[in-house]
Amino acid sequence: MSAQNKAAAGRRASTAKTGDGANAKQLQLEGFTAEHPTHLTTNQGLQIPDNHNSLKAGVRGPTLLEDFILREKITHFDHERIPERAVHARGSAAHGYFQVYQSMSQYTCADFLQDPDAKTPVFVRFSTVAGSRGSADTVRDVRGFAVKFYTREGNYDLVGNNIPVFFIQDAMKFPDLIHAVKPEPHHEMPQAASAHDTFWDFASLMPESTHMLMWAMSDRAIPRSLRMMEGFGVHTFRFVNARGESHFVKFHWKPKLGVHGLVWDEAQKIAGKDPDFHRRDLWEAIEQGHFPEWELGVQLIAPDRAEALGFDLLDPTKLIPEEMVPVQRIGKLVLNRNPDNFFAETEQVAFHPGHVVPGIDFSNDPLLQGRLFSYTDTQISRLGGANFHELPINKAVCPFHNMQRDGMHRQTIARGQVAYEPNTLGSGTEFRVDGGSHGFQSFPEEIESPKVRRRSPSFDDHFTQARLFFNSQSTVEKEHIVAAFRFELSKLEVPAIRQRMVDNLAHVDEKLARRVAEPLGIGEPDAKAAAGYAGFRDHRIELPIDESPALRMSDGNADGVVRTRKVAILVADGVDSASLKPIRDALEQAGALCKVVGPRLGTVASASKRQIDIDMTFTNTASVLFDAVLVPAGAEGAAALAAQGDAVHFVLEAYKHCKAICAIGEGVQLLATLGVTPEGEAPAGVVVAETPVTNLGDATPATRIAQDFIAAIAKHRHWDRLNIDSVPA
């Protein structure tokens, strides 16, 4: 068995042996997995004698058409691509489980939300929206957060995003939205970016997109890690209990590691240095046993309280502020196993918001209603027919059977004479056809209305919640939003689109619009010229709050941990290893992941002539791939680092991106020669020890330095550094 196969088998064995419900899916998948063989065969099972040479008429003669082994191999290769997803093509996924904290029977009869001892297997796929399958992970975009629960009552898919609202209110506009954001059709540029004319042309004409645009221009759209983002079901759904009583529900995923973003400059650089940054981060965390966790949160609204919210629950461009309806945390999601095969699992998984279980139902949100059609439809062309539910990753773990038959790639061998119902020749009379009380029950909402092709006036206010979001941001988050709008709009070739967009923004916040407009070479924002101005005046939302702290990222919701945060330790020959070790030990004890970065692979010699192993070099990695930097003591080492442009750039860039930096002894002088530590007090997030620190015990300098550094890393970023604009990086 190859090393890789052994690792995969080990992973499977370690989770399979617990025998809990979470592994029902894994056991099912086992039946479909294949290990590397000892010899090669054709697809018909014939052993292949030679996998290097085709069959020829003489060694220098033409290849014979008869060579079925060659033909089979090439034919399969010729057909091994399937269409990528129309949206969310770029994704990464993992297996895990969900466990409810206590029975939710008061609100829903969904089986997987009843028993706190039961673990339900899940497969979760994260994605970007606009980019192609091979596009970079860290582009500015919404992230998909799709969870498939393999429950005992059938598959339940919660197909959400990392942003709680959406660009449009009605599915009728979805193809337009996606055509606008995708690369422009005449020259297929730009890839995985909204910073181009067609997107902003559309957005500026669709004022309902304003709230979502505020989120998309915030740091939410450039997450530090897939493990550090929230997830949202977006739409209002229904919980229905065993008595048939219903509550409206909004779903939230709250990450245990807090909510953190990248810096835009950093995100762009990572897209080149490591386009797989998020995929790698998720994969490595799971391989190393640092299983990412989220809590499932619900906001529950009794139907008779919906009206009092002041906005329409059916409008997907609105959220319910947590200060108005608190989020109750009802269970946890743990991702603990990487897929065995990207194509078979991550690519072939098919989500659908219409995959619900008894106890969960839809609302009349017109965006959701359209989605209920789209997802099955798209799989039919993407996965090549109507039998995609039989693919191993999509297959329910509970028995399923009906009279649907045949079609491309059918796997199931349905026994017997009948494929219709009712019947007397098979088991037809046992099936209930009376809409009786078994199985999934649609909530019997009373509806009596004329058919209309119109938008509800209760959807008309496009700016009040956008303003709530903006008002709720910290100063630095507001700055990032302004900068993001400026960047995106500066990329447009048509000034009139820029103007229309800032006119719209003037309805959110006059100052915001002015600041965005400043460097764009356009006129003053004019709110009266904005699209959607008239409708907005007539149907304004009144909110009881001006700010919602829960919408802020900078508080991070983190539990102050540095688990899995990456620290680069910069070394060169002559570094002081004695001062390095206690800090590194403390970091690793706290769960941080340290990598030694040096001028070459192999080792460097410390000041005391000890060999220090190098993990990475200044040329094959970069500061943007780390959360923090440690510069050790040692006169010779610091001088060597100062003489190495890549090392200098490493420190400067980390500083500019507001990351925690710790410098010891001569390392401090290195910082000073770079001009980043003015005389006197160290800038925010820079921890310095003027003299080397050697031992770790309570109250020693090393302990204090390590603790300060860990606390600085746990803060994620130190935005209050004053001089970063002048730092070249």
Query: Residue 651, interface with ligand HDD (CB under 6 A)?
Result: no
367 binds ligand HDD (CB under 6 A): yes
State which of residues 371, 395, 467, 718 lies at the interface with ligand HDD (CB under 6 A).
371
Which of 161, 548 has the CB closer to ligand HDD?
161
Distance in angstroms (rounded) separating the CA atoms of residues 493 and 560: 44
Q: Which of 161, 162, 394, 504 is catalytic?
A: 161
Least spacing, CB of residue 291 vs ligand HDD, in Å: 20
Is 318 among the residues that bind ligand HDD (CB under 6 A)? no
The nearest distance, CB 355 to ligand HDD, in angstroms, is 11
Q: Which of 118, 14, 17 is nearest to 336 (CA)?
A: 14
CA distances from 28 to 16, 21, 336 (A): 11, 12, 17
Q: Which residue has the tokens 């065969």?
A: 41
**How distant, in Å, are the alpha carbons of 11, 19, 196 from that of 718?**
38, 45, 31
Burial class (CB in 10 A: 0-12, 13-18, 19+), 156: buried
Closest distance of CB 165 from ligand HDD, Å: 8
Nearer to ligand HDD among residue 85 and residue 515 (C-beta): 85
- Read off φ and ψ for residue 331, nearest 5 degrees: 180, 175
Q: Which of 354, 370, 384, 535 touches ligand HDD by CB under 6 A? A: 370
Is 371 annotated in a binding site? The answer is: yes
Q: Work out which of 374, 603, 644, 700 binds ligand HDD, going by CB under 6 A.
A: 374
Closer residue to ligand HDD (CB): 157 or 653 = 157
Of 22, 24, 87, 713, which lies in the binding site for ligand HDD, with binding defined by CB under 6 A?
87
98 annotated as ligand-binding: no
119 in Cβ contact with 98 (< 8 Å): yes
The Cα-based distances of 687 to 62, 84, 421, 530, 704 in angstroms read 71, 47, 74, 49, 10
**Which amino acid is residue 153, in one-letter code?**
E
The Cα 154–Cα 400 span in angstroms is 8
Least distance between ligand HDD and beta carbon 324 (Å):
20
Q: Name which of 107 and 174 has its Cβ closer to ligand HDD.
A: 174
Residues with Cβ < 8 Å from 459, sequence gap 6 or more?
A: 169, 208, 312, 314, 315, 317
CA triple 163-167-169, angle to 5 deg: 115
Beta strands 566-570; 628-631: pairing state: parallel
From the list 272-280, 366-374, 436-444, 476-484, the region that binds ligand HDD by CB under 6 A is 366-374
Give the C-alpha separation, 502 to 495, whole Å. Answer: 11
Q: Of 125, 211, 462, 718, which lies in the binding site for ligand HDD, with binding defined by CB under 6 A?
A: 125
State the number of binding residues for ligand HDD (CB under 6 A): 27
- Angstrom CA distances, 428 to 142, 327, 423, 438, stand at 47, 46, 4, 16
- 88 near ligand HDD, judged by CB under 6 A: yes
- Give the largest CA-CA distance in the chain: 92
Q: Which 225-244 residues touch ligand HDD, going by CB under 6 A?
A: 234-235
Query: How much helix, strand and coil, in percent to the nearest 5, is found in the chain?
Result: 35, 15, 50
Q: Which residues of 425-458 are buried (b: 16+ CB within 10 A; e: fewer)?
A: ebeeeeeeeeeeeeeeeeeeeeeeeeeeeeeeeb
Q: Which window, 368-376, 459-467, 549-557, 651-659, contacts ligand HDD (CB under 6 A)?
A: 368-376
Of residues 378 and 423, the one with the C-beta less far from ligand HDD: 378
Q: Is 467 in the site for ligand HDD (CB under 6 A)?
A: no
Taking the complex as a whole, the smallest distance from the CB of residue 644 to ligand HDD amounts, in Å, to 43
Q: Exactly one of 294, 351, 459, 719 binds ligand HDD (CB under 6 A); which one?
A: 351
What's the min distance (Å) between Cβ of 285 and ligand HDD? 19
Using CB under 6 A as the binding rule, the residues of this chain from 692 to 721 that contact ligand HDD are none
Contacts to ligand HDD from residues 134-193, by CB under 6 A: 144, 146, 159-161, 166, 171, 174
Q: Which stretch binds ligand HDD (CB under 6 A): 64-72, 86-94, 396-404, 679-687?
A: 86-94
Is 88 among the residues known to form the active site?
yes
Of 61-69, 236-244, 349-357, 683-691, the segment contacting ligand HDD by CB under 6 A is 349-357
Tell whether residue 174 is among the known ligand binding residues: yes
Beta-carbon contacts of 340 under 8 Å, excluding residues fewer than 6 positions away, are 8, 12, 29, 33
Q: Does 388 bind ligand HDD (CB under 6 A)?
A: no
Which residues lie closer than 8 Å to 202 by C-beta, 6 or more apart? 176, 177, 180, 181, 209
Q: Which strands, in side-by-side order, build the sheet including 616-617?
A: 616-617, 593-598, 566-570, 628-631, 660-664, 686-689
List of residues 6+ apart from 39 with CB closer than 8 A: 47, 48
Which residues in the 2-31 window bind ligand HDD by CB under 6 A?
Answer: none
Beta-bridged to residue 157, according to DSSP, are 148
375 marked as part of a ligand binding site: yes
**Nearest residue (beta carbon) to ligand HDD:** 144
Question: Is residue 86 close enough to count as binding ligand HDD by CB under 6 A?
Answer: yes
- Cα→Cα distances 584→604, 605, 706, Å: 17, 17, 8
Q: How far is the CB of 288 from ligand HDD (least distance, A)?
A: 24
For the chain, count helices (H), then strands (E). 19, 18
Q: Is 162 a catalytic residue?
A: no
Pick between residue 144 and residue 632 the one whose CB is nearest to ligand HDD.
144
Interface residues with ligand HDD (CB under 6 A)? 85-88, 91, 125, 127, 144, 146, 159-161, 166, 171, 174, 234-235, 316, 349-351, 367, 370-371, 374-375, 378
* Catalytic residue set: 88, 161
Annotated binding site: 85, 125, 174, 371, 375, 382
Annotated binding site for heme: 85, 125, 174, 371, 375, 382
